[in-house]
Structure 1
Amino acid sequence: MNEQQNTQTVQAGYALFGKGDIPNLLKLYTEDIEFVIPGAPQAIPYAGVYRGKEAVATFFAKLHDAVEFERFEPTEYIAHDDKLVALGYGKARVRATGQSEEEEWAHVFQMRDGKVSRFQVYTDTAAVAQAFQRSSQMAM
């Protein structure tokens, strides 16, 4: 696949994510997809490494249970060969604490045969983890 097709695949994935259409989003991934979400799972409930479509579906369920996005928007795409980087911004409310968190992020996609084979997030995990802390924990 060429860089333009890879970019279109990733853009389609973001559109499906925005609609909450996870079953069709999963169709854009290889069977052996690997998702790498930074952070400690005890601080960020959806953090971890997920391998395979079933595990990635679990990630999306954990993400949905943990946060409600107010804004989630990729702002720039940088494609080279079979890699694509998306830069973007997100603002979400943590369901358990009611606290908001804002972040700029970079998502790195590895493509294979027109599908995403690896996805890795780069963001400020300390800021995300802080939004998951209850106010009483933050006062300590």
Structure 2
Amino acid sequence: METLVHYGQKVANLYDAFKRGDINMIVNSLSRDCIWEVMGQPDIPFAGIYHGRDDVKEFFMKLNDTLDMSDFVVEHILENDHLVMACGHMNAMARTTNKRFSTFWCMQFEFNDQEEIVHFRDCGDTLACARALK
């Protein structure tokens, strides 16, 4: 992986927190009015636009209720000023159908001057996920 600098290292720490199930660490890194976007509406239960910390907690609960991720790999983290882009891949199983799928993903994190995430956007193969859920 690339050498990480300030915000890139923060994002790497967030992925480590996600892998160990420390959702509070992630939520505490958000601005109070953070916008959290996940592609795939209406076919993916956790997809949508979430506003603020409480909504993002709800996102993580929906994500956990929907998918069992067996593999979540960060491949690249790139930083430019207050913007961080991360790319990787994951393997998961839909909990309701036991169908497996894989996807590459790209996530964007935008930070404010207080080093809080103000905007997050997640993109992946939403069709593969939706098909696994049916």
**Shorter-chain TM band:** over 0.9
- TM-superposed CA distance for 1:122, in Å, is 1.4
Q: The residue matched to 1:25 in structure 2 has which SS?
A: helix
Structure 1 segments (4+ residues) deviating >2 Å = none
- Give the aligned partner of residue 130 of structure 2: 129
* Preserved contact between residue 40 and residue 47 of structure 1 (Cα < 8 Å): yes
Amino acid at match of 1:8: Q
* Uncovered stretches (5+) of structure 1, i.e. residues with no partner: 134-140
The number of residue pairs the alignment matches comes to 130
Identical amino acids, percent of aligned pairs: 28
Q: How does 1:44-123 map to 2 (within 5 A)?
A: 44-112=44-112, 113-123=114-124
Which structure has the greater CA radius of gyration? 1
Q: What's the CA shift for 1:33?
A: 1.1
Letter in 2 for 1:76: H
Following the alignment from structure 2 to structure 1, what is the Cα–Cα distance between the partners of residues 116 and 101? 30
Deviates more, 1:123-132 or 1:55-64: 123-132
Q: Which amino acid aligns with 1:110?
A: E
Secondary structure of the equivalent of 2:129?
helix
Q: Distance in 2 between the 1:25 and 1:40 partners?
A: 23
Shift of 1:125: 1.1
The 5-angstrom pairing of residues 24-43 of structure 1 reads 24-41=25-42, 43=43
The CA deviation at 1:35 is: 0.7
Q: CA deviation at 1:51?
A: 0.5
1:124 is displaced (CA, Å) by 1.6
How far does the alpha carbon of each residue in 1:43-77 deviate from its partner, in whole angstroms, 9 at most, with x for none? 11101000000000000000000001100111101
Q: Provide the C-alpha distance between the structure 2 equivalents of 1:123 and 1:23, rounded to a whole number of angstroms.
A: 24
- The TM-score, its normalising length taken from structure 2, stands at 0.93
- Aligned-residue CA RMSD (Å): 1.1
- Correspondence for 1:10: 11
Q: Is the 8 A contact 1:5 1:114 kept in 2?
A: no
